[in-house]
A and B are shown apart, each in its own frame.
Chain A
Amino acid sequence: MAVDDVSFALEPGELVGYIGPNGAGKSTTIKMLTGILVPTSGEVRVAGLVPWKQRKENGRNIGVIFGQRSQLYWDLPLVESFELLRAIYGVPRDQYRRNLDEFVQILDMGSFLRTPVRQLSLGQRMRGDFAAALLHSPKIVYLDEPTIGLDVVAKEAIREFIARINAERGATIVLTTHDLADVERLCRRIVLIDNGTLIYDGDIDRIKSEYGRFRTLVVRFCEPVERPHLDGAAVAEVEGPIARFRFDRNLQRADLLVRQASERYRVEDVSLEEPDLESIIRRIYVEGYGGRSKEDAS
């Protein structure tokens, strides 16, 4: 079974990050939400519709973007794919014009609008795919790894576009991605699944404070120190003159540790590492949700 007991609800206009390791069941969930996969049991409703029973009606409400699979017509110029989609969704001409003009401007597509899709770069194709999925002003948008393979500039442009669609059009967005920088930049809430089961649903801030209590103080000594020690912190790693101390932010203050270190040793430099979402999620993938209790015991 690909997914089992994954229950969550979305508010209209919400932008939620849907994450999990490869094979966790993310795509399976998206397929059920879009109506192309029929669940063996359970209930799915999208804007009041049962997707696989009302596939066509549901199709009007949703826009879907797969980073790894284009929905554009390979042999046709980009703009002809858009025109075909206009006919498919029956978008009124003036609305189509407005949307297209806006997307061409924001996504800077003017220069390649008439280029056949097979000749576009990945970044251009991705922008085309975004416009294609949103031309009919869907209420709900599923993004399945929309920034995969893109360079940093293109990624940022896509992220900005997603934020804008969410803010200006009030579209509800489900963002599936392995790039947690996408999630950190865009979402307040994440739904985390693994092995087809839900393991976390809530604020990013909360998961960060729950899992991210441990900060790391990096101290560079003037000369190598044998068995460095600071009260209230655990030595995580010593490498030459550099030592890393892990401490619980709720129990210990960074400035006190720094003072302690400089009183005991000759210190050249200190820096503080904050846990980012990526390292937190990585720990959850590896250790499971119960990993937290191990941490508490140490």
Chain B
Amino acid sequence: MNLAPYVEFAKKAFSREATYRIEVLMEIGSLVLRVYILRALWTALYAQNAAPTNLPLHSMITYATIAMLMSLILEVDGTRLIREKIREGTIATDLMKPISVPLYFFSDGFGQTLLHALLVIPSLLCALLLVHIDVAPPATFAAFFLAFIIGYGVNFFLNFLMNCIAFWTLETFAAQLIVRWVSDLLSGQVIPLTLFPGILGRIVFALPFAAIYSTPLLIYVGVIPPEQWAASILAQLLWLVLFAVLSSLVWRAASNRVIVQGG
């Protein structure tokens, strides 16, 4: 397959995002502030309660800070283009082109992600001035990175599926918001899933959301030890494959029932 168009899509999305410079700077600023608040919050919580055995305060702050930096990348929803284009009817012109439209959405999202990924570096440096975070050893970091990439894929397909609902309902905002909240909580972005008690903990670990934030983060802070890396990453991969298959089925059904609004 010829990848040239998709490389172009990603480049264009990157430069399009880069035109909103003020927004970009604001994002870094707000991120630094949020990291600082998180540190204060967890410090206060830990002062009042007994620390969980496998997650001391410094690990918790590391976890929260890195989760925040990851959200910089993972909250970019490239596939929101789907519902915008369905609403405006411009998806018709994309479907008339000799391209894979889902891959177009992926590469557009990826281009946006790359710009936001570049922001992670200055944000991280600023954050380090305010809070101390643990630096993982290279092997752990590599495992974290691999898990993060797979989580990125799972996140993409989850967003893709949500936005594809627009093919049936034309408007998906409410459904999207609910899934976003649920996924923020159940993915381990807000609090580590290890803090969920008993049966609830077992359930949240069995859900696909855990593959997005929880697995890479728990690898990073050492809650998932090296001997369990393979199993955790394999579980992520299973979700990835499942979501990919589901997405392709949904896309096939969706593109057979395109209603282009207007005209």
Query: When A56-B98, A60-B98 are in contact, do A66 and B8 touch as well, CB less than 8 Å?
Result: no
Determine if A90 and B92 form an interchain contact, defined as CB atoms under 8 angstroms apart: no
Q: Is the CB of B92 within 8 A of A36?
A: yes
The A-contacting residues of B in range 227-263, CB under 8 angstroms, are 256-258, 260, 262-263
Encoded as 1 (CB less than 8 Å from any B CB) or 0, chain A from 56 to 70 comes to 110110101010110
A27 interface residue per 8 A CB criterion: yes
B45 touches A (CB below 8 Å): no
Chain B residue nearest to A36 in the complex (CB): B95
CA gap between A71 and B93 in the complex, in Å = 6
**B residues within 8 A CB of A59?**
96-99
Contact A31 B98 (CB under 8 A): no
Note all chain A residues with C-beta closer than 8 A to B89.
69
Q: Is the CB of B92 within 8 A of A83?
A: no
Q: Smallest CB-CB separation from B90: which chain A residue? A: A69
Query: Are A36 and B12 also in contact (CB < 8 A) when A66-B93, A69-B93, A88-B97 are?
Result: no
A36 and B96 in contact, given A75-B19, A76-B16 (Cβ under 8 angstroms): yes
B2 interface hit (Cβ, 8 Å): yes
Q: Which of A1-54 contact B (CB under 8 A)?
A: 27, 31, 34-38, 52
Contact B93 A56, beta carbon cutoff 8 Å:
no
Q: Is the CB of B95 within 8 A of A88?
A: no
Interface size on B, residues (CB 8 A): 26
Q: Please provide the chain A residues from 74 to 126 with a CB less than 8 Å away from any CB of chain B in the complex.
A: 75-76, 80, 83-84, 87-90
Chain A interface size, as a band, is: 20 to 34
Q: How far is the CA of A80 from the CA of B12 in the complex (A)?
A: 9
**Are B263 and A69 neighbours in the complex by a CB distance under 8 Å?**
yes
For A84, the closest partner residue in chain B by CB is B8
Determine whether the beta carbon of A31 is less than 8 Å from that of B92. yes
Given A59-B97, A59-B98, A64-B93: A87 in contact with B4 (beta carbons within 8 A): yes
Extra A-B contacts (6), CB below 8 Å, given A35-B96, A87-B4, A90-B4: A31-B258, A55-B95, A57-B98, A87-B8, A88-B97, A88-B98
Chain B residues within CB distance 8 Å of chain A: 2, 4-5, 7-9, 12, 15-16, 19, 89-90, 92-93, 95-100, 256-258, 260, 262-263
Q: Pick 16 A–B contacts, CB within 8 A, sort by A.
A: A27-B263, A31-B92, A36-B95, A36-B258, A56-B98, A56-B99, A56-B100, A59-B97, A60-B98, A66-B93, A69-B90, A69-B92, A69-B263, A76-B12, A84-B5, A90-B4
